[in-house]
């Protein structure tokens, strides 16, 4: 094993002061892979894991991929260094390796097995990052740095920017890529919408040399600008400065104005859609809500290992072992993930899945854990009927808005998915009858969880909209009906009774019409016989009502299994 890898791991561990937590049983492990030596790094997208480890029988490092649900690990590349960059999202792995003729960037679709040669350049200026089917990277050519992107579906490569020197990035999330570049007379942070390919936008000019921490989410870009060593012209030491830029409003703010000097972004990544993790003078960790500005101090002095909008992870030494802990930002509670007589290090979170290394000496394994299964029982519920867990904000919404009768069992864990309408990436979870989408930018409000327009999508997918039942009707004269001019359709009889029986909890007395509307949406058709189901149905924006006249009340109308059908389950 390379000496640099050993030194890097040992240094990372002993920089952290010892804690005093007690050993306990680890969270249930979904997958465990044996490795011959400590890994250099690991990442997961919630479906696959990538890890850099010593090549079997050799001295160099190799990149491996493994499906979290099973199967043998796949060797992707050999001859990598401890700092060789790699990235994974949506089942596509991207990595860079130095070869005699230059730096090669390669990719593999781990679902299909297809391999791609992305780029070969004399020198890498920016590590490749993949998200949402796009990869961004930087190349250093004779005329300076070039920032590039490739779309996997088309294979098209587009230059985003060029300049004398790439200082940081590029990074990518959702529709945006961002980077810091030195043009000789000015140092700038640039953002660009890579979906619309609008012209690059200058966010700011840098006061100091370069942002040393540089992170991006769906809605915000954050960076910490570190000053050079030594005092300022006034003789006082210069303090680093941390900024957050809102991609929607275009506004940038400094945290020094609110919390004082010495603020840096903490963890990797530290910027979410709704919150940011900050460290102050390397002595305290806090989460700041980007909407309200509220600061919540985190009970750890051991540093942050990984972070999402929902969870913070930290590895904490104890009596020769290293325990792995999580902190639930929503519930403001700390929980144990792995506390035993081994070292539990290098955690990586992705789409509700956690992977980490268990042990620094043989036997060494990489473990995969569903983060929801590691949380305290009072915060999550496990359904053996489907083998999935419901927790946090989704659990609260599920329980308040109809529960099992309305939504059915969870069919997946939480995972990240791109919204086809907005292009943004959100945390989602599929249920038998619906799809939940988390919008942390609406945290604390009634629209923090949005549900999918699965009725409309089902009608389009099965070409039902040509049926005469989808033609608008005039306002019906009969009583016992509710007509909606927005779509020209009405709800009557047993369908109306069912429609009024449940709704999204908006704190109205009883179940109001707007709460039912939020749950089911507007009617898109009148009742008709579904040619595939051979039953009378009525289609709504977010639901399909199915008639079962043979059943006793209140079971004559049932909610179609649109979530299961859309997921092919």
The DSSP code sequence of 152-203 is TTT--EEEEEEESEEEEEEEEETTEEEEEEE-SS-EEEEEEETTTTPPPEEE
519: left (phi over 0), alpha (psi -120 to 50) or beta: alpha
Domain membership flag for residue 548: yes
pLDDT above 50 for 11: no
Per-position b or e across 524-546, b if 16+ CB within 10 A of its CB? bbbbeebeeeeebbbbbbbbbbb
**Each residue of 492-535: pLDDT tens digit?**
988 998 898 888 888 788 888 999 999 999 999 999 999 999 99
CA distance 205 to 188: 4
What is residue 525's DSSP assignment? Answer: S
Q: pLDDT for 457-466, tens place per residue?
A: 999 999 999 9
> For residue 53, is it within any domain?
no
12: which 2 tokens?
């990372």
Distance CA 361, CA 351 (A): 29
* Integer Cα distance of 395 and 438 in angstroms: 12
Closest CA to 355 of 345, 364, 363: 345
Q: Phi, psi at residue 136, to the nearest 5°?
A: -125, 150
Whether residue 431 lies inside any domain: the answer is: yes
Is residue 452 assigned to a domain?
A: yes
Q: Is residue 312 part of a domain?
A: no
pLDDT per residue as tens digits for the range 296-306: 777 665 666 67
pLDDT(333) > 70: yes
CB neighbours (10 Å) of residue 240? Answer: 18
Q: Is 497:538 a contact under the CB 8 Å cutoff?
A: no
* Domain range for 545: 379-566
Q: Is residue 214 part of a domain?
A: no
Q: What is the pLDDT of residues 163-183, one digit of tens each?
A: 878 888 899 988 889 998 888
- Output 569 or 342, whichever has higher pLDDT: 342
- pTM metric for this prediction: 0.69
pLDDT in tens, 134-163: 999 999 988 889 999 999 878 889 999 988
The CA distance from 210 to 488, in Å, is: 58
Q: Give the number of domains in the chain.
A: 1
Residue 474 lies in a domain: yes
Q: Could you report the per-residue pLDDT of 103-137, keeping only the tens digit for each? A: 999 999 998 999 999 999 999 999 999 988 899 99
Alpha helix locations (H) across 268-427?
A: 371-374, 392-400, 403-407
The continuous run of DSSP H or E covering 417 comes out as: strand 415-418
How far apart CA 104 and CA 120 sit, in angstroms, is 5
CA 242 – CA 225 distance, rounded (Å): 6
3-state helix, strand, coil in the chain (%, to 5): 10, 45, 40
In a domain, 190, yes or no: no
Residues whose CB falls within 8 Å of the CB of residue 42, separated by 6 or more in sequence, listed in order: 49, 50, 51, 52, 346, 348, 355, 356, 357, 366
User: In this prediction, what percent of the chain has a pLDDT beyond 70?
Assistant: 85
Q: At 23, is the pLDDT very low, low, confident or very high (cuts 50, 70, 90)?
A: very low
Q: Which residue is listed with tokens 């908006």?
A: 506
């Amino acid at each position: 094993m390379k000496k640099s890898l050993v030194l890097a791991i040992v240094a990372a561990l002993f920089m952290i002061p010892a804690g005093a937590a007690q050993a306990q049983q680890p969270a249930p492990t979904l997958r465990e892979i044996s490795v011959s030596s400590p890994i250099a790094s690991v990442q997961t997208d919630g479906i696959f894991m990538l890890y850099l480890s010593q090549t079997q029988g050799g001295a160099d490092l190799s990149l491996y991929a493994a499906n979290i649900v099973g199967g043998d690990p796949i060797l992707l590349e050999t001859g990598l260094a401890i700092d060789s960059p790699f990235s994974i999202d949506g089942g596509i792995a991207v990595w860079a390796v130095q070869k005699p003729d230059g730096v090669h960037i390669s990719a593999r679709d781990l679902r299909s097995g297809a391999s791609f040669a992305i780029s070969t350049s004399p020198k890498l200026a920016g590590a490749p990052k993949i998200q949402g089917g796009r990869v961004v990277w930087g190349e250093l050519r004779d005329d300076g740095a070039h920032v590039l992107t490739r779309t996997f579906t088309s294979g098209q490569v587009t230059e985003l920017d060029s300049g004398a020197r790439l200082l940081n990035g590029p990074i990518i999330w959702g529709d945006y890529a961002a980077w810091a570049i030195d043009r000789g007379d000015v140092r700038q942070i640039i953002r660009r919408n890579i979906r619309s390919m609008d012209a690059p936008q200058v966010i700011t000019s840098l006061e100091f040399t370069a942002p040393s921490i540089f992170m991006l989410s769906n809605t915000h870009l954050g960076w910490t600008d570190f000053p050079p060593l030594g005092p300022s012209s006034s003789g006082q030491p210069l303090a680093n400065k941390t900024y957050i830029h809102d991609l929607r409003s275009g506004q940038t703010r400094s945290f020094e104005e609110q919390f004082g000097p010495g603020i840096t972004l903490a963890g990797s990544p530290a910027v979410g859609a709704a919150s940011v993790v900050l460290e102050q003078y390397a002595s305290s960790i806090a989460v700041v809500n980007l909407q309200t500005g509220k600061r919540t101090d985190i009970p750890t002095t051991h540093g942050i290992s990984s972070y999402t909008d929902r969870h913070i992870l930290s590895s904490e030494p104890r009596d020769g072992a290293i325990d792995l802990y999580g902190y639930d930002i929503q519930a403001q509670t700390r929980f144990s993930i792995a506390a035993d007589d081994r070292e539990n290090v290098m955690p990586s979170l992705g789409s509700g899945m956690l992977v980490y290394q268990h042990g620094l000496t043989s036997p060494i394994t990489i473990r995969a854990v569903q983060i929801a299964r590691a949380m305290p029982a009072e915060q999550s519920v496990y359904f053996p009927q489907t083998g999935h867990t419901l927790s946090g904000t989704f659990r609260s919404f599920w329980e308040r808005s109809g529960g099992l009768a309305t939504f059915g069992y969870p069919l997946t864990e939480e995972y990240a998915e791109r919204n086809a309408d907005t292009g943004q990436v959100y945390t989602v979870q599929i249920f038998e009858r619906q799809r939940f989408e988390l919008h942390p930018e609406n945290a604390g409000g009634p629209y923090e969880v949005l549900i999918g327009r699965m009725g409309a999508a089902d009608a389009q997918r099965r070409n039902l909209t040509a049926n005469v039942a989808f033609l608008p009707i005039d306002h019906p004269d009969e009583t016992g009906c509710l007509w909606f001019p927005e779509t020209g359709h009405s709800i009557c009889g047993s369908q109306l009774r069912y429609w009024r029986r449940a709704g999204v909890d908006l704190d109205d007395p009883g179940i109001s019409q707007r709460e039912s509307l939020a749950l089911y949406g507007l009617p898109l058709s009148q009742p008709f016989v579904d040619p595939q189901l051979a039953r009378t149905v009525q289609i709504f924006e977010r639901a399909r009502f199915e008639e079962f006249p043979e059943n006793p009340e209140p079971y004559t109308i049932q909610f179609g299994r649109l979530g299961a059908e859309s997921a092919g389950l």
